[in-house]
Amino acid sequence: MKRLVALVVLLLVPALYAGSPGSFRGIVVNAPKGQASAGWIYLRGANGMVRRVSVTNAAVTYDAKFPAGQRLRRPEASLIAGADVRVTAEISSDGEWRASRVEILGKRRVQVDDDPDDDDDSAPPIQRVALRTI
């Protein structure tokens, strides 16, 4: 009987977590060359890694602290490179993040560095981010 209970627990516990939403923050960066961008955003997290998230069915809103004068009629239009966002999403069966909610927290000026080994000293004085995907 104990074995049966242990087997049921081992089979059911992972299933309970499979559909659990996760929440994470990041800065929207441009899609890598050759990657789809319609319906997707690419977020650079605090660790520098880039995560792709589907936003086709997400509710996109502004955070209460986002300046009213900078808000657009359609918040989705603010999901551009440099936007600081908080995402609530689940991992789908195909391994992709699917957002249910995206909150726009602010804007930052960011340039994605496609070649982090390039030592070009003439770069503009803005934050350069190495593009890496997980």
In a domain, 72, yes or no: yes
The predicted pLDDT at position 38 comes to 86
Domain assignment present for residue 3? The answer is no
Give the structural domain span for 117.
Answer: 22-130
Supply the Cα-derived Rg of the chain in whole angstroms. Answer: 19
Weakest mean pLDDT among 25-29, 43-47, 74-78, 111-115: 111-115
Residue 9 within any structural domain of the chain: no
- Res 6: pLDDT: 60
Of the candidates 55, 9, 57, 58, the one whose C-alpha atom is nearest the C-alpha of residue 36 is 55
Count of domains in the chain? 1
Any domain includes 121: yes
Q: Is residue 105 part of a domain?
A: yes
Q: Is residue 124 part of a domain?
A: yes
Q: Does residue 63 fall inside a structural domain?
A: yes
The tokens for 68 are: 């009213």
Closest CA to 21 of 75, 57, 68: 57
pLDDT score, position 123: 44
CATH number of the domain within which 66 lies: 2.40.50.140
**For 72-122, what is each residue's pLDDT tens digit?**
999 999 999 999 999 999 999 999 999 999 999 998 755 555 444 455 554
Q: Is residue 14 part of a domain?
A: no
Mean pLDDT of 36-47: 90
